Chains A and B, each alone.
Chain A
Amino acid sequence: MNIQTNIEGGVAVNQSVESAPIVKVRNAQVFYGDKQAIIDVDVDIRENEVTAFIGPSGCGKSTLLRCLNRMNDVIPICRVEGSIKLAGQEIYAPEVDVVALRQKVGMVFQKPNPFPKSIFDNIVYGPKIHGLVKTKSDMEEVVETSLKRAGLWEEVKDRLDQPGTGLSGGQQQRLCIARAIAVQPKVILMDEPCSALDPIATATVETLIDELREKYTIVIVTHSMQQAARVSQKTAFFHLGELVEFDTTEQIFAAPKEERTQNYITGRIG
C-alpha cells in the first residue's frame, strides 16, 4: 500500500507503509531554554493505530506530542533537535510550511476550545483557510461528513447556526474533533482530550477515537492508564523526559519489561 503526502509545495513522497511508520522520531531532544524536556527519544507511529503516551506529570509526553505538528514553535525558548519525519519528510526542515504540516497533523486540546462562532463556522474555518471548500454546498457537505464522523450530527443538525460554545463539554470536545478532521488530516494529536469531561462524555469520546482509527492515525496523551489500555494499540511510557518503554498496549500493561513501567502502572510512582 502506498500513501501520498503533500507536505510542501507539491513534493510528493512515496513510501511503503508495510515496514515504514507514518511518523518516525529519532534521537529527539527538546529544550526549554537550558532545561532538557525530552532526552533522546525514538518512537514510530504506525498508520491507523492509536498510540498512547503515558507517564507522570512533567515527563515530556505533551511536549513530544506538540513537536509532531510544531505547536511548540510559538514558544520562543523551545528548541528541538534530532529527526522527526512525517511520511519520510523531515518536519523541522527549514523549507517545510508549518501551515501545510498542521493541515496533515491536526490537534485536539485538553480543554474543549471551540471558536465563539456558530457550529457551522467552527467546522468550515479550517477547510476555508486551506482552500478546500469554495461553494456553499461544499461547506454544507464538509460540515455534515465531519460532524457525522465525530458522532455529533444527530445532536446538532438542527442548530448549526447556534454558537459552538453553547454545547455541553463532551459535545464541545467532539465538535473540536469534527473541526480537526474537517481539514482531512492524516494524523490527529490528542492532548488529554477527556481530562475536562465527565465519565459518560469520556466514554463517548473513547468510542469515537476507536472508530476514527479506521481513517486516521491517532496519538493520544493521557493521564488515565485505563483509558490508554482501552483505546490504544501501542503505548509509550515516558519518565523524566526519557522514553522508558514502547510496545503494544497488551505487552505494556500485562508484562512490562522495565521495572519503572511496572511501578508506574501499578501506582507506585507517579
Chain B
Amino acid sequence: MTDAVNILATSSSPRHAAESRFRLYGVIAIIISLGFLFVMVGSIAIRGTGAFQQSFVNIAVPLPAEKIDPKGTADPQVIRKSRFGGILKSALREMFPEAKSRKDKRQLYKLVSATAEYSLRDHVVANPDLVGTTASVWVRASSDIDMYLKGNIDGTLDESQRRVSDLQLAWAAELQSKGRIEKRFNTQFFTGGDSREPEQAGILGAVTGSALSLLVCFLLSFPIGVLAAVYLEEFASKGRINRLIEVNINNLAAVPSIVFGLLGLAIFLNVFGLPRSTPLVGGMVLALMTLPTIIIASRASLRAVPPSIREAAFGLGASKVQATFHHVVPLAMPGMLTGSIIGMAQALGETAPLLMIGMVAFIVDIPGGITEAATALPVQIFLWADSPERGFLEKTSAAIMVLLGFLILMNLIAIILRRRLEIRW
C-alpha cells in the first residue's frame, strides 16, 4: 500500500515538471510572436502617422487683374490660362526681398511645393472675386521643408549633409514665427492620385485600382469557384478523376503567385490582347490565384452540411438540383463566403502577379473603370518604397497602414459573417 503511494509520488513529479515546462514554452512563444507583431505595427505606425499631416505655408499673393483677367470677364477659362507660376514666384520674392541671386531665388521657390501654382490657380478659379486684390493663400510646403518641420531632417547637421539649406531654414523659422506655417490634416493623401511630389501624392488612385481589381476578381472567382465546388462535391462521381482534380486544386493553391502573373501576361495580354495595366486583367489574374482557395473552402463547407439534410430533401421527392440549391448550398453559403473573403484578402495583398501585367506603372489619374490604367495598393507601396525622396518614406508606411486596415476589415467581415449566418445543428 505505502509502496504504491510512494511510486505515484515519485513518478508524478517529472510529469508535472514536463507539463509546466511545456506551458512555459507556449507562453514564451506567444510573447515572442506578440513582441514581433508589436514591433512591426509600432514601427509602421511611428513612421507613417506623419503622412496624415501636411505643412502649409501662408503666402500673400498679389493678383493683379491685368495679368490674370484684363477684360474683367471672370471667365474661368481665361483665369485658368494665366501664368500662376510667375505670380506665385513674384509673391515669394516680395515676401523675402533679400533673395537676390539666382541660386537664392531658386531656393526660395523650393519652400513651397512645385504643385503650389496649381492649387493657387484652382483657388482663384473657384473665387474669381480675388482677382485684383492681394489674397492670403495657404499652399503646400515642399516635401523637404515639410520633412524638416516634422523633425525628420536634422537642422544641426552641416549644410552639405542635408537637403535643406541654411537660408531655407532661416526663412522657415521666420515664416513660423509669423504664424505663416501650419500643419493640417492631409486630405490630399486620401483623395489624390500618385504624384512625383511626395507632398502631393495620394492613395485614392491605388485604393480605387485595388477595389476595381477585387471586384473583377470576386465576380469571376466566386461564381466559378462555388459552381466548381458544388459540381465536384454534389454531382460528380467520386472516382479517381475527382480525386486527381482535388489534388491538383490543392497544388494550385500552393503555386507562387508570380507564376499566375506570368500566365496572365502570356495569355490575357499577349494572346487575347487585353489592355495592359488595367484592373480588368489584374482582377482576372487575381481570380486565377483565388479560385483554388475558394474551391477548397467551398468544398469543405459543403462537406460539413450533414447528409441527413440531403436525405430529407430526397425523401420528399426533391431532385438532385433542388436538394442541392434549395438546401445544401444555402446552408454552406456562410462558409463559402467566409472562404471567399479570406481569398480576397489574400488577393488584396498580392503584388507579384500585378507587376507582371504592368500594374506597376506610375499613374496619376484615379481610374474610372476596369479598362483604365491603374495601380493597386501593394504595388503603390512597392513604388513608394522604391522612391529616393525622404517624403515617400512616411507615405509608404501610411499606405501600409491603409492596406493593413483594409485587410483587418475584410477579416472582421468574414468573422462576423461566420458568427451571424452559421447554423448549428
Q: Known interface pairs A76-B238, A116-B423, A116-B425. Does A126 touch B311 (Cβ–Cβ under 8 Å)?
A: no
Contact B318 A113 (CB under 8 A): no
Please classify the interface of chain B as helix (H, G, I), strand (E, B), loop, or mixed, using the class held by over half of its residues.
Answer: helix
Instruction: Give A191 to B170 CA distance when docked, in angstroms.
Output: 93
Residues of A within 8 A of B306 (CB): 113
Contact B316 A113 (CB under 8 A): no
Complex Cα spacing A101 to B316, Å: 10
Determine the residue in chain B with the shortest Cβ distance to A112. Answer: B308
Q: Say whether A126 contacts B237, CB under 8 Å.
A: no
Cα A111 to Cα B237 with chains together (Å): 26
A69 to B315, CA, bound (A): 8
Stretch from B78-86, B250-258, B319-327 forming part of the interface with A: B319-327
A239 an interface residue at 8 Å Cβ cutoff? no
Complex CA distance for A113 and B306, rounded to whole angstroms: 9
Q: A109-B308, A113-B308, A113-B312 are in contact. Are A183 and B327 (CB under 8 A)?
A: no
The size bracket of the interface on A is 20 to 34
A114 to B315, CA, bound (A): 12
Q: How far is the CA of A183 from the CA of B313 in the complex (A)?
A: 12
In the complex, chain B residues whose CB is within 8 Å of the CB of A129: 316-318, 322, 326
Q: Which one of B238, B309, B311, B319 contacts A71 once the chains associate, using CB atoms below 8 Å?
A: B311
Residues of A within 8 A of B376 (CB): none
How many angstroms from the CA of A76 to the CA of B308 in the assembled complex? 17
Cβ contact within 8 Å between B311 and A76: no
With both chains docked as a complex, state the minimum distance between the C-beta of B328 and any C-beta of chain A, in angstroms.
11
Q: A125 contacts which chain B residues (CB < 8 A)?
A: 313, 316, 318, 326
Question: Judging by beta carbons under 8 Å apart, are A180 and B318 in contact?
Answer: no
Give A41 to B238 CA distance when docked, in angstroms. 31
Contacts of B425 in A (CB 8 A): 116, 165
Inter-chain contacts of A183 with B (CB < 8 A): 316-317
Q: Is B331 an interface residue (CB 8 A)?
A: yes
Known: A76-B238, A125-B326. A111 touches B308 (CB 8 A): yes
Contact B237 A76 (CB under 8 A): yes
Instruction: Report A80-112 residues with CB < 8 Å from chain B CB.
Output: 99-103, 106-109, 111
A180 near B316 (CB under 8 angstroms)?
yes
Closest partner residue, chain A, to B305 (CB atom): A116
**B132-188, CB < 8 A from A:** none
Of residues B310, B312, B322, B327, which shows the largest number of chain A Cβ atoms within 10 Å of its Cβ?
Answer: B312
Bound: A76/B425 CA distance, A: 27
A109 to B314, CA, bound (A): 11
A100: chain B residues at CB < 8 Å are: 317
Give min CB distance, B327 to chain A, whole Å.
6
| Complexed CA–CA distance, A114 and B425 (Å) | 10
Within 8 Å of chain B (Cβ to Cβ): is A130? yes
A200 at the binding interface (Cβ < 8 Å): no
Q: Which residues of A contact B308 (CB under 8 A)?
A: 109, 111, 113
The one of A103, A113, A165 that contacts B311, using a Cβ cutoff of 8 Å: A113
Q: Are A115 and B327 in touch, CB under 8 angstroms?
A: yes
* Chain A minimum-CB-distance residue to B316: A126
Find chain A residues with CB under 8 A from B327 CB: 115
Q: Which residue of chain A lies nearest to B318 when distances are taken between CB atoms in the complex?
A: A129
Apart from A116-B425, A125-B326, A126-B318, 8 more pairs, CB < 8 Å: A71-B315, A99-B317, A101-B317, A102-B316, A103-B316, A116-B331, A126-B316, A126-B317
Interface of A toward B, CB cutoff 8 Å: 69, 71, 74, 76, 99-103, 106-109, 111, 113-116, 125-126, 129-130, 165, 176, 179-180, 183
18 contacts between A and B (CB under 8 A): A71-B315, A99-B317, A101-B317, A102-B316, A102-B317, A103-B317, A107-B315, A109-B308, A109-B311, A113-B306, A113-B309, A113-B312, A115-B309, A116-B425, A125-B316, A165-B423, A176-B312, A180-B315
